[in-house]
Structure 1
Amino acid sequence: MGEVQVLGSWGSPYSRRVEMALKLKGVEYEFIEQDLANKSPLLLKYNPIHQKVPVLVHNGQAIAESVVILEYIDETWKGYPLLPQDPYGRARARFWAKFIDDKCYTAIWQTVWIKERKEREKAIEEASHHLKTLENELRDNKFFGGETIGLVDIVSNFFSFWPDIVQEAAGVEIVTEERFPFLCKWKIEFTSCSAIKENLPDRDKLLAYLKAQFTRSAWKY
């Protein structure tokens, strides 16, 4: 199907979404690491509007925004469906993908970067509320789409790896087995898949990076 390149960042869960989808589809690709503090001419060429990762380049044509890329991958390479076949199922998957990006991710990162204790406690409460909504959608299913990993699982990849490292680096505990048993069970199933496991960042490297970022933020406890 032609040449495939991924412009991404090693520690970004958004970049990892694209790699996980390509791995599940069995698509070979070249990963081109990007330094977001010193944006490359290649990134500025292929994503001039947002100037961020990930970007998928297929036969010289660029697609930006991770969820848009996932849908493009699913429509371009058949064999392992990421989205349900029926329109209703596809619409629901798109809804939950947007909910995760707009509500869950935003709320979780606020718990990390807000400096004042009271404001952070409010942010933790909001994040927990959104995660409980997500947990109720998952319930006791193996994956969000049923028995196989789909688009919503890939969009949720952050919850499978990053929260434990954020907790260790910043001391902010959110995703615990006591609070979210279904999400924690899902995490084990999700990361047991070789295509997923192979595309998680190096834990020690990510921990060191986040610790450095959080130290510079000079929180007030």
Structure 2
Amino acid sequence: MAEELKLFRTWSSPFALRVIHALKIKGLEYETIFEDLSSKSASLLQYNPVNKKVPVLVHNEKPVCESLVILEYIDETWKQCPLLPRDPYEKAEARFWAKFGDEKLLSSIWNVLITQGKQLEEATAEAVQNLKLIEEQLKEKKFFGGETIGYLDIAFGWTVNLISILEEIIDQKLVDEEKLPLLSAWMQNFSDDPVIKDCWPPRDKMIAKYQAMREPYLKKVVSQ
């Protein structure tokens, strides 16, 4: 039986991008189905009736939801180019930091985007502190997974794209080469990888999208 893989995504979702990176690293063929989240398809609602969001990977008509769960499913199903460490402790550490990225780092980066003035200073300080914690995991390593891209690199991959876009929008540096040299080098190495570099969404469209997302929050602050 031939493998059938379908990926439900949007053009800009950083979480769907994780799945794309994993599939490409594994050398897997898949069909992309783009969703408009303002008018969700019947198929998306059928495959993800609980959260009703992307990404959803459908493998031989069996749906797998939530990007980090999908990464583990891909890694366990296709053994080539392993993503997660084999050592149980290292595997647990990778899962911990991936969870930290989604629950702590992402929200702190988002707060930088939607604030200004003193609140922006406070949000930036928190985001940089979280980035420093991430950098500490890179000591003596090219990637979080060692010499090759692994699970945690893919989990943090959104930072490479979104932080540079955010820096351009707010005209402020978050990842400084002098202050965060290891993280800065990792971002360059990750972005330059042949499998990764062709996957990024159009930068001009991303900047326009996040500028539009930012404006209502800034207007709300001004009107208060």
TM-score over 0.5 (shorter chain): yes
> Matched residue of 1:7: which SS?
strand
Aligned to 2:184: 184
The amino acid that maps onto 2:59 is: H
CA offsets 1:2-28 (integer angstroms, 9 cap, x no match):
100111111111110000000000000
Aligned to 1:4: 5
* Kept in 2: contact 1:170–1:214 (CA 8 A): no
Tell me by how many angstroms 1:216 deviates: 4.0
CA offsets 1:157-183 (integer angstroms, 9 cap, x no match):
112122111222233532222331111
* Kept in 2: contact 1:4–1:59 (CA 8 A): yes
Tell me by how many angstroms 1:145 deviates: 1.4
Aligned to 1:204: 204
Aligned to 2:51: 50
Aligned to 1:165: 165
- Which is worse superposed, 73-82 or 1-10? 1-10
* Kept in 1: contact 2:114–2:218 (CA 8 A): no
Cα distance in 2, alignment partners of residues 128 and 173 from structure 1: 10
Tell me by how many angstroms 1:72 deviates: 0.1
**RMSD of the TM alignment (CA)?**
1.6
Aligned to 1:63: 64
| CA gap 1:172/1:42 in 2 versus in 1, 3 angstroms | farther
Tell me by how many angstroms 1:156 deviates: 0.6
Cα distance in 1, alignment partners of residues 90 and 193 from structure 2: 23
Cα distance in 2, alignment partners of residues 141 and 28 from structure 1: 30
Tell me by how many angstroms 1:217 deviates: 3.6
Cα distance in 2, alignment partners of residues 90 and 148 from structure 1: 15
Aligned to 1:89: 90
Tell me by how many angstroms 1:201 deviates: 0.9
Q: How many residues align?
A: 220
* Kept in 2: contact 1:144–1:153 (CA 8 A): yes
TM-score normalised over the length of structure 1: 0.93
Tell me by how many angstroms 1:113 deviates: 1.8
Cα distance in 2, alignment partners of residues 172 and 37 from structure 1: 32
Cα distance in 2, alignment partners of residues 117 and 52 from structure 1: 34
Cα distance in 2, alignment partners of residues 122 and 187 from structure 1: 24
Aligned to 1:22: 23
Q: Any gaps of 5 or more consecutive residues in structure 2?
A: none
In the TM superposition, structure 1's runs of 4+ consecutive aligned residues that sit over 6 Å from their partners are none
* Kept in 1: contact 2:54–2:65 (CA 8 A): yes
TM-score normalised over the length of structure 2: 0.92
* Kept in 2: contact 1:16–1:199 (CA 8 A): yes
- Which is worse superposed, 93-102 or 159-168? 159-168
CA offsets 1:61-86 (integer angstroms, 9 cap, x no match):
11111000000000001110000112
> Matched residue of 1:218: which SS?
helix
